[in-house]
Amino acid sequence: MPWEVRTRQDEIRFTLVVSLIVLAASGVLRSLMLPPELAMPTLVPGAAMAVMIAAPIGWIIARRLRAVHDLSARLEHALHHDLLTGVRTRASFYEAARALEGQPCVVIVADIDHFKGFNDCHGHFAGDQALRQFATLLAGNCRGGDLVARFGGEEFVIVLRGTGADQGRAIADRLADRVRASPIYVGERSLSLTASFGVAAWTPGGDMDNAIQQADCALYRAKNSGRDRVCCHHAGPEGAAPLQAVS
């Protein structure tokens, strides 16, 4: 019996099941409590009355159960997703990342360029709009199984599952192009935006925090090299980590 009611079809099924249960219970009680000469003539009217009572009650209960489920789903989403941008929170990101352990992935750290100046110049409403659009662009250009999270302020972290370093760099380049080509509309104003990206490989058995740190270092190299670009982390021959800029 679908006690967890999620859709209109679930509501209908729930109402039908409740009506059938009440109808069957009504027939059993009638046969037990009334003599056969009274039970048979009242069978049809009694069944109709039972359904007329049960169906509205079942429908009301189904609607309440669906409302409870919808509220629970919204609370669950709010618990694991950033309220402003809709992408994952930092805590939710780490929880979901555990399911990706054991497969090669790429970590991308993305940061909006000159965001403080953008906020100061155009206002916090424009800044919020920029963050929402930036997050939507990142999530919209990733696959369903990839992770996109806001780590704080204007910094976002992406994990591309089953992806090599070269493919991850190409995706980061594409994201940078999309950001550059996507204006922010605030009222009648059209504002431009760019972002910098750091890319690092997260190898099977490796530490996620270490991969994020490597991508973050690559991001700072991108910032120091002029912004609006992608930098990749490459492990050196002696464990060093020289950074290579990719325009």
* β-sheet with 230-233: strand ranges across: 147-152, 155-161, 105-112, 195-202, 230-233, 243-246
Token pair of 108 as six digits: 């991308």
Amino acid at 133: Q
**Cα atoms in the 13 Å half-sphere on the side-chain side of 167:** 10
Residue 10 CB-half CA count within 13 A: 16
Options 4, 11, 101, 154, the catalytic residue: 154
Cross-strand pairs, 108: 158, 199
Alpha helices in 81-207 (DSSP H): 90-97, 115-122, 124-140, 165-180
Please provide residue 108's backbone torsions phi and psi, each rounded to the nearest 5 degrees.
-120, 125
Q: Is 4 a catalytic residue?
A: no
Closest among 224, 94, 88, 230 to 152, alpha carbons compared: 88
The dihedral built from the CA positions of residue 65, 70, 74 and 76, taken in this order, carries a sign that is positive
Catalytic residues: 154
